[in-house]
Amino acid sequence: MEKRKLGQNGLEVSALGFGCMGLNYGRGSDLSQEEAVQLIGAAFDRGVTFFDTAEVYGPFTNEEFLGEAIAPFRGRVVIATKFGYQFDEQGREAGLNSRPEQIRAAAEGSLRRLKTDVIDLYYQHRVDPNVPIEDVAGTVKDLIREGKVLHFGLSEAGVPTIRRAHAVQPVAALQSEYSLWWREPEAELLPVLEELGIGFVPFSPLGKGFLTGAINAQTQFDPSDRRNGIPRFSSEARAANQSLVTLIGQIAQEKNATPAQIALAWLLAQHPWIVPIPGTTKLHRLDENLGATDVELSSADLKSIQIALSEVVIQGDRYPAHLQRQVNR
């Protein structure tokens, strides 16, 4: 698979990564550790070298699954994980915390669970309004000096925060949502990332499954599926947004591809420093996603998509209100 670089310090990864969150967190269809290990191994066998997880996924168990899976080929892959939350005595997520001592404790826990001596890319999961970003970047800079982390990343951070953090410790990558369904990063984020030489890692590149065409207004999610609480996934919003899925399906037919492949190919065509991280629990969907790297969209194709998208009005927020307040800080 084609390789791409994130940041300016030599972090090279496969053009498509693998988002591990949904393996056992947030989607209502948890895999066993054995099943997750097999799927991650299959992704590696197919050329994926970039795997994304976080301590809060589970919490903790997602990192354990990934650590077990990559042990046989650890030196040939890049691990990204995230800090920024605190947990109660029962191990449940209990709010944001990016104080230096918490970052250090989180790093030690992640290293242990991932069965590694270094974290390749360490993201602040969400900006903590109670901790100056300079203190966060400085702590990660110290971890880099100590050899426990190689590269620093931010997730869902706004432009001023990115600039302030980058001035203390170069940011290799920003992770945020970006897809045919959510194009807000184009306005301010992407120009700044290009200016500073920061890579972009879009999560939910398939619109949390909506862009695949497998979800409609009648779809019922598992009670534990986090999409139940997302305004954009109300049945009314899904019905209103169906025109986008229809549009992608038409383009897919013309290109002899699937809607998911068109959505991923479109992202890959935006900039050479963009690395989407679709996730799945199914081997055939993994193969489908990876097939996007073989889909070529010409400049004429991209222009046609742009014109068509300008006529589609997306309805529904991408987060409930209490989570929306945590992004673009």
Positions marked catalytic:
57
Residue 306: CB partners within 8 Å, gap ≥ 6? none
Own/partner contacts of 183-190, CB < 8 Å, gap of 24 or more, are 183/309, 188/159, 189/159, 189/162, 190/270, 190/271
CA separation for the pair 282, 86 (Å, rounded): 31
Identify which of 244, 327, 243, 255 has the alpha carbon closest to the alpha carbon of residue 297: 255
